[in-house]
Structure 1
Amino acid sequence: MSFRRIVLIAACIAMAACSKINQENYSKLQTGMAKAEVESLLGKPTECSGALGFASCTWGDDKVFISVQYAGDKVLMFSGQGLK
């Protein structure tokens, strides 16, 4: 195996390990948290939508994700899938 290939594999593993979409951060979420606190913990969401004072934001993709629903600026409920 070439040195370049080893470095590339190590970089990919390191990037995957640095993901904020994990069980540890999911465990820190709490009902009533401010949206700014959630974004400080998880980073910028992948996608958000909402209307009439309610919003739903998702971090991750269709296999590994954290989804947070807001009422106003506060966490109403949250869920996750595929977290490690």
Structure 2
Amino acid sequence: MSLRSIALISFCVLLAACSKVNQENYSKLETGMPKAEVETLLGKPADCSGALGMSSCTWGDKNSFISVQYAADKVLMFSGQGLK
């Protein structure tokens, strides 16, 4: 295996270990928290949708994710799955 391949694999492992989608950050979420504060904690969401002052954003993938629902840019409720 070349040095370049080893470096790439190491980088991918390190990047996966640095994911903000984890139980520790999920535990910091609170109802009423501003959307900007959630994005500071979790980073930019993978997906967002909404209308009429309501929105829903998701971080992570289908196996491990955090989903947050907002009303007027404040956390209304949240859920998570597969968090470590």
TM > 0.5 fold call: yes
Aligned twin of 2:64: 64
How far apart are residue 12 of structure 1 and its match?
1.4
Size of the aligned set, in residue pairs, is 84
Q: Deviations over 1:9-65 (max 9, x none)?
A: 221110001111111111110001000000000011111111121110001111111
TM-score computed with the length of structure 2 as normaliser: 0.91
| SS at structure 2 position matched to 1:20 | coil
Name the SS of the counterpart of 1:58 in structure 2.
Answer: strand
C-alpha distance in 1, partners of 2:58/2:51? 16
1:2 to partner: Cα distance:
4.0
Q: TM-score, normalised by structure 1?
A: 0.91
User: Counterparts of 1:30 and 1:80 in 2: how far apart (Å)?
Assistant: 13
In structure 2, the residue matched to 1:39 is 39
Match of 2:55 in 1: 55
5+ residue gaps in structure 1? none
Percentage of matched positions with identical amino acids: 76
Q: Which runs of 5+ in 2 are unaligned?
A: none
Across the aligned residues of Structure 1 and Structure 2, the Cα RMSD in angstroms comes to 1.2
